[in-house]
Chain A
Amino acid sequence: MSDASLSPTGAPERRHKSLLTVDSRTARRNAAEKRFRFYGIGAILIGVFFIVVLAFSIIRSGLPAFTHTVVAVDFTLSEEGFAEAEGQLFKTKAYEGLLIEEIRGALEAEGISVSFDAAAIGRLLGKPGGTLRDHYRANAQDLGTPVRFELAAASRVDGYLTGRVTRDTLQDSRFLEAGDLDLIDALVEAGIITRAFNWNFITGADSGVDNPGGAGIGASVVGSLFMMLVVLVLSLPIGVAASIYLEEFAPQNRFTDLIEVNISNLAAVPSIVFGILGLAVFIQFMHLPQSAPLVGGLVLTLMTLPTIIISTRASLKAVPPSIREAALGVGASKMQTVFHHVLPLAMPGILTGTIIGLAQALGETAPLLLIGMVGFVARGYPDGVVAGFTDPNSAMPAQIYTWAARADPSFYEKAWGGIIVLLVFLLSMNILAIILRRRFERRW
């Protein structure tokens, strides 16, 4: 028999009645657990929220840069009219007179009455006579048939239609007067002022500080492409060669240790220091041309090398030793093993790393500012391949910075638009990298 007393009073009191009843301490611990989990979800949601806000503000502010306000006129010029205009002393002025008549006629046809003079049209359109004259001199067959001209309107017209300039804030100036706004309203109603796709933004070059409407990113895209060509041609072979040496041949000694430490340090040096290096070594010391894509490419090459070396070494390391041993076993030299067997197998990984490195270099701005690749020099396209490398030009990010730094807020729209163009390039490069990775993914 047991000595234990059966009376309930004798038993020690139990703290827990059951695992299933939750006491206050457990409840607290469970609540803490839940909170902690929430913080994690919250952190990720905040991160995703930032991406969404960023994407939203880029798209919302950038898309207007791709369209612009145009004055679209169906213009008919008879042969007599052409002869008469060409016979006058101020020929482009004669064309402008004809254009004004055409606009007047179009407004009347719509039954809209508004009074305006040639000066008002001049404020809205600049000097369109030259465009008209050039067209008819080049295309005589268009005489007598209606031709639709889409003439870019002044940026203040753009500002009025997009709400940047309002009737309340408008101050009469030689650029825009209060009366012009009535004319603009009338023209919009008649369908003469419309919005059209702005090809000039994609293909054009930077404009002066007083002409935000005419600014385009085309020339700096060319500058960026030439720069990327330099980076690709230099950083891929040098980076791959350096990685092959470090991964396959390097003995463990002071020298290779120094190289290793150097590479990991270079990967973390601030980009602006590379700009200082470029300024001091390539421009001050070697007298290479300032603002040239060649110098920009050299600077970015030095910046990209660590990225490429690190990714190349990772993909060389991923090639299994059995491949090497098999090659050595049939009598290949160490060099042949690497170049004939290991390198081709590592190539997809190397290419992926290179594309990602190039994408990073494409978006880099700070070092380019120091070597002078700022936008105001990107006034035109370089003529010829050699000039493409050595002529002053801008790069996309530097061009965007120039626009953002200008006083006229009309340029901000261009800056956002430029960012869309830049991100399209980056996105396509990253997608290419992902496709390459998927396509050649290999499991040993």
Chain B
Amino acid sequence: MPLLWVFLIVLTIAIGGYFAGRMRVLQHAGGDRRKMHSLPNYYGGNVAIKAAVPAFFLLVAWLLIQPWIVNSSVSNLIPDSAIAESSSRGLVLSEVRRAANGLDMAVAQGALSEDDARQPDADVTDISAKLQASGAIVTSQITPPVLQAAQRYRDLNTQGSTWMAIAVISLAVAGALWGLRGAVPDYRARNVVETAVRYLLIGAASIAILTTLGIVLSLVFNTIEFFRLYPAADFFFGTNWAPSFSGRGGSSDLGVLPLLWGTFYISIVALAVAIPIGLFAAIYLSEYATPRIRSIAKPLLEVLAGIPTIVYGLFALLTVGPLLVSVFGRDGLGIMQAGTAVVTAGLVMGIMLIPFVSSLSDDIINAVPQAMRDGSYGLGATKSETIRQVVLPAALPGIVGAILLAASRAIGETMIVVLGAGAAARLSLNPFDAMTTVTAKIVSQLTGDADFASPEALVAFALGMTLFVITLGLNIFALYIVRKYREQYD
């Protein structure tokens, strides 16, 4: 039975239970709500919760555990001799899964009858041909052990989903009946429902933790796998980035330093654009601008933060790059080879970061108490002197925090560098050279056709880990600075 149906049936039972529970308690109370502990809806809700929650928990648990059991029992069917020299058990198992899916497709299209699909001693050549004819992705020839394993795989899965449907639906019915027993006026239904809702809320809040856990685990496991194949010292201290996608093991140089250098260089250029513009804009908006100008200019600058990064990437690639080449390129100063370069990406990323610096700094400058300014004016300082010598030093920790947040944005930014900075990993000081960054390489390593178990693909996880650690460190440091000094004037 398809999963969707099981889901819908459980949902129907829960909804039916809701109305049944409501009706039953009203009957018991003789229609007099004053005799009931809770409102009728809570009695209904109590039944619905008891029907749906355990059933869904079972469903999820079953879905997580079944593939595990099926895989291990199918794996036992394949003798070691059936695994080719260059292959591994995992690859054979995925072959089995593909063959099983192919059998399903062939049966669904009528190319193969259900009985034929179950024949353990069927002619493998014939089956392979039929599978390919029905559009399944199988390798040229499936071997008898693979075919038998695939058949076993199908059997186990069909049985498993049947038993799952029976178990889940009967649990839902049992839960509904258990809930209906409580549909009597004295039952404290509201407390039960509210406890359940409370756990639901806690569960929702915990998703943030689960996400972080997911990020860390997916990075850590694959990174460890990578460091098993490739020495960590070469990764962290290597100055050459030259992955080879030919599949020959050990011929790639995967040093992270050129990528880190490119990342920092582009970020520094970006910040050199964003900090002065953003800071002066913030000062003007908070100290000089009339409310009217402020109400127009601030949202206008914030538009820059709302534009998708792919737009900036295209802008860098197709507008800014050619423009810079026409000035600094062969026809101009002759120091720029191509449109994709550190300055291109840095300049465009700087534009993107202006509102990050300006909005955050604006808030922080506004938070400096007026008394400090008045004191400065009272001593005879001009407005700009007050800003430079009183307001800015007071707001400095917050501004540094804002700049750090902008820097972590710049380091993690992907689309602008993928399109604007080029693909060459090099350690160069010339800002008109093409360079590449950690994020751009993550994209290129994971969107190629490389085998997923090769160091060339796995290195992306190590790069992701590096990126995650760096940006997390910057963020925490920025938050620490902002928090520590924010309370000074409160």
Contacts and interface: CB of A to CB of B under 8 A. Distances in A.
Contacts of A285: 218
Contacts of A309: 208
Contacts of A262: 208-209, 211-212
A181 to B, nearest CB: 26
B187 interface: no
Interface in B437-490: 439, 442-443, 446-447, 452, 460-461, 464, 467-468, 471-472, 475-476, 479
B77 interface: no
B280 to A, nearest CB: 4
Contacts of B452: 284
A50 B274 CA distance: 12
A44 B461 contact: no
Given A32-B384, A44-B301, A272-B467, A58 B284 contact: no
A302 B211 contact: yes
Interface stretch (A70-78, A114-122, A190-198, A263-271): A263-271
B156 interface: no
B201 A268 contact: no
B212 A266 contact: yes
Contact of B304 (A47, A249, A366, A422): A47
A299 B281 CA distance: 35
Interface string B302-315: 01101111110111
B384 A33 contact: yes
B351 to A, nearest CB: 5
Contact of A277 (B200, B214, B411): B214
Contacts of B319: 53, 57, 61
A246 B198 CA distance: 11
Nearest to B447: A369
Contacts of A416: 314, 318
Interface stretch (B104-112, B237-245, B371-379, B412-420): B412-420
B311 A335 contact: no
A33 B285 contact: no
B55 interface: no
Nearest to B204: A241
A40 interface: yes
B249 interface: no
Interface residues of A, number: 88
B308 A422 contact: yes
A265 B306 contact: no
A82 interface: no
A380 to B, nearest CB: 15
A259 B218 CA distance: 20
Interface string B239-271: 000000000000000000000000000000000
Contact of B280 (A43, A249, A256): A43
A272 B445 CA distance: 13
A70 B37 CA distance: 75
A359 interface: yes
A276 B464 contact: yes
Contacts of B479: 264
Interface stretch (A101-109, A145-153, A321-329, A396-404): A396-404
A273 B464 contact: yes
A295 interface: no
Contacts of B411: 270
A232 B484 CA distance: 36
Contact of B201 (A42, A242, A281, A419): A242
A39 B278 CA distance: 11
A404 B276 CA distance: 31
B197 interface: yes
A57 B219 contact: no
A265 B475 contact: yes
Nearest to A32: B384
A125 interface: no
Nearest to A334: B194
Interface string A400-413: 11001100000010
Interface string B34-54: 000000000000000000000
Contact of B207 (A39, A50, A238): A238
A262 B300 CA distance: 31
Contact of B314 (A259, A280, A400): A400
B48 to A, nearest CB: 16
Interface in B132-164: none
Contact of B310 (A33, A35, A359, A363): A363
A54 B308 contact: no
Interface in A204-263: 237-239, 241-242, 244-246, 249-250, 256, 258-259, 262-263
B317 interface: yes
Interface string A274-306: 111101110011010000000000000010011
In this complex, which of B67, B194, B351, B414 has the most chain A Cβ atoms within 10 angstroms of its Cβ? B414
Contacts of B281: 40, 43-44, 47
Contacts of B198: 245, 249, 335
Interface of B: 4, 67, 190, 194, 197-198, 200-209, 211-212, 214-215, 218-219, 221-222, 276-281, 283-285, 287-288, 297, 300-301, 303-304, 306-311, 313-315, 317-319, 351, 354-355, 358, 382-385, 387-388, 405, 408-409, 411-415, 418-419, 439, 442-443, 446-447, 452, 460-461, 464, 467-468, 471-472, 475-476, 479
20 contacts: A30-B382, A32-B384, A36-B384, A39-B284, A48-B297, A48-B301, A50-B354, A51-B300, A238-B204, A239-B204, A242-B207, A242-B208, A270-B467, A270-B468, A277-B211, A277-B218, A280-B461, A369-B447, A401-B418, A415-B314
